[in-house]
Amino acid sequence: MNEAKYGEHYSVLKKEIMELFDLHKIVEDSQEVYGDLTFGAGGHSCAILENFPKAFLHAFDQDKEALANGIERLEAGSYSSRAKIHHSNFENFSTVIDEGLLFNGVLLDAGVSSHQFDSGGRGFSFRFDAHLDMRMNNDESIKPASHYINTLSEAELLKIFREYGEEKFSNNIVRSILERREVSPITKTKELEDICFHSYPKKLRHGKIHPATKSFQALRIHVNRELDVLTNVIGQVIPRLKVGGIFAIISFHSLEDRIVKHRFRDLLSGDIPIEILTKKPLLPSKEEIFENSRSRSAKLRVVKRLEEWPRKNKYR
Ligand SMILES: C[S@@+](CC[C@H](N)C(=O)[O-])C[C@H]1O[C@@H](n2cnc3c(N)ncnc32)[C@H](O)[C@@H]1O
């Protein structure tokens, strides 16, 4: 297990995001303020601080390991005086950030970091045998995945695997979970992996995607309320952008991307004038996908705050 040392994380679409922040830089701005709602290993945060020497950065991460590493990284880059990391869920954005502070650019790079995924003890991956935990924030008030697996009803589990995992064999998997937990509680990643594996028809067990992949994703989304917090934060950030400021969101699966797309579209009829800069999401280049295969499902959508509604939207 590698909890002690914070692992590397390849920052997805970093060049494109820096170019966007640069393109939408506000001329003659005396106080540049940026936000990174998902600090992780700090790759995007450090790039912002490096590329925008006048900037002050507010970063968020709900994971204490990311926070501890972040403080070290900022010190190593001599950025500490221009950055503050908030140990908080980004869904608390509007209460954590002082009222009145407006941002030039905010980034949200959704999901788990490579460090979390590759840390055996965190329970995110069935590659390691570990407690079925999956909490990004391991505060006692947040329940681990094992709690849900052992206590939720059949209907609740089915909803999670179907909606968040789009798992075709949810019925078989949930039936096996219910049978297995009758005998003894399911507490380990490898137990759940085994259940998923044997719930797949024999001829589909060795396909490109492991039979446990979608169920692990579904459970992780549920444990961390990933879709709710994403939905909640978008409307909080937009009013905190300067006129001309942008909000960029990288998502990693269709459920997240759908939320971003629809929330941006809903906000087009809100009180704050905005423009969606990405009619279609921006995707990583072939070179980036070659260097980092985890970036292959990334999609970037960007919204900009305007002074007033563009003419075509005047009579919305
Ligand atoms: C994909 S990584 C970000 C990587 C980062 N952009 C980099 O370049 O290193 C996501 C990070 O965001 C954090 N995170 C995810 N959802 C969060 C939330 N709702 N509130 C706060 N932090 C969150 C995770 O703990 C993880 O460290």
Reported as half-sphere exposure (CB side, CA atoms, 13 A), residue 171 has a value of 2
The residue contributing the CA closest to ligand 1 atom 24 is 112
299 strand-pairing partners: 251
CA–CA distance, 83 with 97 (Å, rounded to integer): 13
Compute the distance from residue 198 Cα to the ligand 1 centre, in Å: 33
138-223 falls under which CATH superfamily?
Putative methyltransferase TM0872, insert domain (1.10.150.170)
Compute the distance from residue 138 Cα to the ligand 1 centre, in Å: 14
Letter for the amino acid at 154?
Answer: E
CA–CA distance, 261 with 271 (Å, rounded to integer): 18
Compute the distance from residue 4 Cα to the ligand 1 centre, in Å: 18
Nearest atom in ligand 1 to 89's CA: 20
Domain locations in the chain as residue ranges: 14-115+226-313, 138-223
Distances (CA, A) of 45 to 60, 73, 91, 271, 288: 10, 10, 19, 30, 19
Residues 6+ apart with CB under 8 A from 159: none
Cβ–ligand 1 distance for 220 under 6 Å, the answer no
- Which has the closest alpha carbon to 26: 307, 313, 244? 244
Contact (CB, 8 A) for 238 and 212: no
CA–CA distance, 181 with 187 (Å, rounded to integer): 10
Compute the distance from residue 40 Cα to the ligand 1 centre, in Å: 5
CA–CA distance, 303 with 115 (Å, rounded to integer): 29
Cβ–ligand 1 distance for 16 under 6 Å, the answer no
Cβ–ligand 1 distance for 70 under 6 Å, the answer no
- Which has the closest alpha carbon to 142: 204, 224, 63? 224
Reported as half-sphere exposure (CB side, CA atoms, 13 A), residue 120 has a value of 8
The residue contributing the CA closest to ligand 1 atom 8 is 43
Compute the distance from residue 108 Cα to the ligand 1 centre, in Å: 8
Cβ–ligand 1 distance for 38 under 6 Å, the answer yes
Tell how far CA 246 is from the center of its chain. 18
Residues 6+ apart with CB under 8 A from 215: 161, 165, 167, 173, 192, 196
CA–CA distance, 70 with 274 (Å, rounded to integer): 32
CA–CA distance, 32 with 46 (Å, rounded to integer): 15
- Which has the closest alpha carbon to 174: 190, 205, 150? 150
CA–CA distance, 166 with 262 (Å, rounded to integer): 19
Cβ–ligand 1 distance for 40 under 6 Å, the answer yes
Architecture of domain 14-115+226-313: 3-Layer(aba) Sandwich (3.40)
From first to last of its 316 residues, what are the pLDDT tens digits of the chain? Answer: 334 466 677 999 999 999 999 999 987 777 899 999 999 999 999 999 999 999 999 999 999 998 888 889 899 999 999 999 999 999 999 999 999 999 999 999 999 998 999 898 999 999 999 999 999 998 989 999 999 999 999 999 999 999 999 999 999 999 999 999 999 999 999 999 999 999 999 999 999 999 999 999 999 999 999 999 999 999 999 999 999 999 999 999 999 999 999 999 999 999 999 999 999 999 999 999 999 998 999 999 999 999 877 766 544 4
Task: Indicate the helix (H) or strand (E) that contains 227.
Answer: helix 226-237
CA–CA distance, 208 with 189 (Å, rounded to integer): 20
pLDDT on residue 309 = 75
Compute the distance from residue 61 Cα to the ligand 1 centre, in Å: 6
CA–CA distance, 136 with 223 (Å, rounded to integer): 9
CA–CA distance, 272 with 304 (Å, rounded to integer): 10
